[in-house]
Amino acid sequence: MNVYYQKEDKLLVMEITEEIDHHVAEKIRRRADYEIQRYMPKKTLFDFNNVTFMDSSGIGMVVGRYKLMSMLGGSLELANVKPSLEKVFEMSGVSKIIPIKKSDILKTDITSPQG
Amino acid sequence: MSDIYENEMKLEFLSKSNNEAFARITVAAFAAQLDPSIEELADIKTAVSEAVTNAIIHGYEDREGIIKIECKMYAGSIQIEISDTGKGIENIEVAREPLYTSKPNLERSGMGFTIMESFMDDVKIESIVGLGTKVTMKKVIHKDALMNQSEILN
């Protein structure tokens, strides 16, 4: 997972680069919670551009981060979700509460990459 | 009668979460012999991932056990049986309900069986408390093509 933080907008971008199953979701969850608590962003964005597979573990992971961001007074968005994953998102109802954006965030907008 | 499509495979592996990817990719590679669409293959991978994850976190509750997968292939369909010898499911009807999870603290969405049922054509769950659980799923391949064909014939 690649993490970028944009100070001016207090925007945290996490680019997920693996298939999301139960095993990987646990890893993402730990890293994401660490980064969110470290930066205290106003908005967290998961970039799904490189995610080719996701099962229901991804739903639990996304909803958990949504709850955390809400608790901290911020918001969560998803971007670049592949059509093959949309089915899982729609079935769970997640797409009704969490905005799924097309491609409005470009990596070049993001300064200070953080590993 | 032997058919070139008729084929079988069996797989056994430890209930470790890093075997989830191995399991779904192996089943997908076997199913690829039927020349499924990308969507059909994604459906199979997702359903297998859900069943294997259930065996790991619910069946064995993260203890070590053996998960078995048996696949039978026919002309135009595949049957996938995923079984564990874990703790079993007390109430299958409740477990099948969308959004029900016995482990909300693990951030489980409760969508596992719902996804299996909507991504596959048939899902059967057999379970005995204390003995284990077996999930049998069937997927018809080239369903769209078959439906178009019958439309033409009619």
What per-residue confidence (pLDDT) applies to B149? 67
CA dist A63 and A43 (Å) reads 15
Is B128 within the bounds of a domain? yes
Judged by a CB distance cut-off of 8 A, whether residue A29 touches chain B is yes
- The amino acid at A70: S
Q: For chain A, what are the domain ranges?
A: 2-109
pLDDT at A115 over 50: no
For residue range B54-93, list pLDDT tens digits in order.
999 999 997 999 999 999 999 899 999 999 999 999 999 9
Residue B125 sits in a domain of what CATH number?
Answer: 3.30.565.10
Domain residues for the domain of B115 are: 7-153
Best mutation target among A17, A30, A55, A61 (most B Cβ atoms within 10 Å) is A55
Judged on CB neighbours under 10 Å (0-12, 13-18, 19+), A94 is buried
Amino acid symbol at B85: T
Q: Say which CATH class A2-109 falls into.
A: alpha beta
Considering only CB atoms, A21 lies closest to which of B42, B53, B109, namely B53
Are A79 and A49 spatial neighbours (Cβ–Cβ below 8 Å)?
yes
Residue B2 included in any domain: no
Tens of pLDDT, residue by residue over B121-131, are 999 999 999 99
Give pLDDT tens digits for A63-77: 999 999 999 999 999
List chain B residues with CB under 8 Å of A55.
Answer: 46, 49-50, 53, 115
Token representation of residue B122: 């048939």
Total H helices, total E strands in chain B: 5, 5
- Map B67-134 to HEC letters: EEEEEEEECCEEEEEEEECCCCCCCHHHHHCCCCCCCHHHCCCCCHHHHHHHHCCEEEEEEECCCEEE
